[in-house]
Amino acid sequence: MRVMIAGASGLIGTSLIPHLRHGGHEVLRLVRRESRAPDERTWDPPAGRMQDGSMDGVDAIINLCGVGIADRRWSGDRKQAIKDSRVEPSEVLAAAAAAHRTPTLINASGINFYGDTQDREVDETAPVGTGFLAEVCRDWEAATSAAQPTTRVVLLRTGAVLSPSGGMLGKLRPLFSLMLGGRIGSGRQYMPWISLDDEVGAISFLLENQDVSGPVNMVGPQPATNAEFTEALGSALRRPTPFPVPPPALKAVLGAEMARELVLTGPRAVPSVLDKAGYRFQHRTVADALTAAVGR
Ligand SMILES: NC(=O)c1ccc[n+]([C@@H]2O[C@H](COP(=O)([O-])OP(=O)(O)OC[C@H]3O[C@@H](n4cnc5c(N)ncnc54)[C@H](OP(=O)(O)O)[C@@H]3O)[C@@H](O)[C@H]2O)c1
């Protein structure tokens, strides 16, 4: 297939591209600057512009755009940027898919769609939750609506991607190495996770599996609480984790809203759609995923 990827330079895109090429797909990258390579096409999402001919012969678009959710404290401007950098590119790509009758659009979203579900397990049939990130995910997904009549639209509700470098693990690993890692608060809150291998493997599976459309929970099959995650990361790094992190300390560092939505609460989400479609996870437990990620 000829696959066009937006947000290609990020954590997921940089692993996905070689994986797809290795699998025999032709990959084009949408870049937000002048194109410099034969596989690059220029676009400007806020202006709604795309280089002429970019969509010719494209079988699928994969949209991975968005400024980092946890890269900076959530000021009003930052929250607007988090939302706009997801909604605008999704609208532009959905309109392009509709205009060119592109068969498939795979669009990023987040597992925070469900908000905090405490002990209640949620699959893709659960409604949107409350909070800033849930609202962002709702609007992000709705931004693909122009493509729904013409195109198979897949919405990737992804949990924290566990990769050897970058992402959440990139931030936590130095703390754990200094023995400053510990469960957060009660540790009973859920931390939805997926290994980078499975994020990439499942996107590739969804690209080829024409029967799946709509929301897909991109999380490992066994949900983990923060305490379980902490123990598994400490064990993978061979570091003790004796000291719990008090929520007020975390709120002081991250800001209260980000701390609450990203770390102090989380959905207990399961990957029902992937399971039913027959996707075989490479990493089924958080311990397995963390050992694979930090052992590289
Ligand atoms: N990694 C995770 O744990 C995780 C979890 C849940 C959801 N997701 C979502 O999945 C998507 C991909 O994740 P990722 O980890 O690969 O993200 P990432 O490393 O932060 O990369 C996102 C990419 O988005 C593009 N981008 C940055 N600012 C932008 C802007 N203002 N407007 C449009 N595009 C912009 C950039 O690509 P270009 O410079 O090439 O355009 C950037 O490399 C994101 O939407 C993310 O929110 C990720």
**pLDDT value at position 83?**
98
192 Cβ below 6 A of ligand 1: no
CB 89 within 8 A of CB 144: no
Measured in angstroms, how far is the CA atom of residue 6 from the centroid of ligand 1? Answer: 9
88-93 average pLDDT score: 98
220 Cβ below 6 A of ligand 1: no
The single-letter code of the amino acid at 42 is T
Compute CA distances 178 → 112, 253, 295, whole Å: 29, 18, 17
Measured in angstroms, how far is the CA atom of residue 5 from the centroid of ligand 1? Answer: 11
**CATH at residue 53:** 3.40.50.720
**pLDDT value at position 3?**
98
Judge residue 68's burial from the number of C-beta atoms within 10 Å of its C-beta, 0-12 exposed, 13-18 middle, 19 or more buried. Answer: middle
CB 185 within 8 A of CB 139: no
6 phi, psi to nearest 5 deg: -110, 145
Range name among 11-15, 192-196, 236-240 with the lowest pLDDT average: 236-240
Q: State the Cα–Cα distance between residues 268 and 282, nearest whole angstrom.
A: 20
Q: Which residue has the higher pLDDT, 57 or 168?
A: 57
Please give the mean pLDDT across all residues of the chain.
Answer: 95
Closest-lying ligand 1 atom to the alpha carbon of residue 67: 28
pLDDT at 75 over 90: yes
pTM of the full predicted structure?
0.97
Q: What is the residue whose two structure tokens read 């709120």? A: 251
66 Cβ below 6 A of ligand 1: yes
Percentage of the chain surpassing pLDDT 90?
87
Q: Which residue has the higher pLDDT, 179 or 86?
A: 86
8-18 average pLDDT score: 98
Q: Using CA positions, which residue lies closest to atom 48 of ligand 1?
A: 158
pLDDT digits (tens, 9 = 90+) for 232-262: 999 999 998 988 988 998 898 889 999 999 9
160-186 average pLDDT score: 87
User: DSSP string of 51-79?
Assistant: -TTTTTT--EEEE-----SSSS---HHHH
Q: Residue count of the chain, please give it.
A: 296
pLDDT digits (tens, 9 = 90+) for 46-70: 999 999 999 999 999 999 999 999 9
Compute CA distances 42 → 11, 39, 51, 57, 62, whole Å: 20, 10, 5, 16, 15
Q: Using CA positions, which residue lies closest to atom 46 of ligand 1?
A: 66
Provide the domain limits for residue 257.
Answer: 2-294
Compute CA distances 22 → 15, 87, 204, whole Å: 11, 30, 11
Measured in angstroms, how far is the CA atom of residue 257 from the centroid of ligand 1? Answer: 21
Q: What is the residue whose two structure tokens read 């990620």? A: 293
* Number of domains forming the structure of the chain: 1
Residues in contact with 89: Cβ distance below 8 Å, sequence separation at least 6, in sequence order: 6, 7, 45, 63, 65, 66
pLDDT confidence band for 287 (50 / 70 / 90) = very high
160-179 average pLDDT score: 87
**pLDDT value at position 296?**
55
pLDDT confidence band for 173 (50 / 70 / 90) = confident
pLDDT digits (tens, 9 = 90+) for 210-221: 999 999 999 999
Compute CA distances 107 → 154, 164, 170, 275, whole Å: 6, 24, 24, 19
**pLDDT value at position 195?**
97
Name the residue of 4, 5, 9 whose CB sits within 8 Å of the most ligand 1 atoms, as the mutation to test its pocket: 9
Q: Using CA positions, which residue lies closest to atom 15 of ligand 1?
A: 11
Measured in angstroms, how far is the CA atom of residue 9 from the centroid of ligand 1? Answer: 8
160 Cβ below 6 A of ligand 1: yes
**pLDDT value at position 180?**
81
CB 155 within 8 A of CB 93: no
pLDDT confidence band for 164 (50 / 70 / 90) = confident
Name the residue of 64, 90, 194 whose CB sits within 8 Å of the most ligand 1 atoms, as the mutation to test its pocket: 64
269 Cβ below 6 A of ligand 1: no
Name the residue of 65, 79, 106 whose CB sits within 8 Å of the most ligand 1 atoms, as the mutation to test its pocket: 65
CB 52 within 8 A of CB 36: no
163 Cβ below 6 A of ligand 1: no
Measured in angstroms, how far is the CA atom of residue 243 from the centroid of ligand 1? Answer: 32
> What's the token pair of residue 281?
């996870």
45 Cβ below 6 A of ligand 1: yes
31-45 average pLDDT score: 97
3-state secondary structure of 201: helix
DSSP at 102: -
pLDDT at 294 over 60: yes
3-state secondary structure of 26: strand
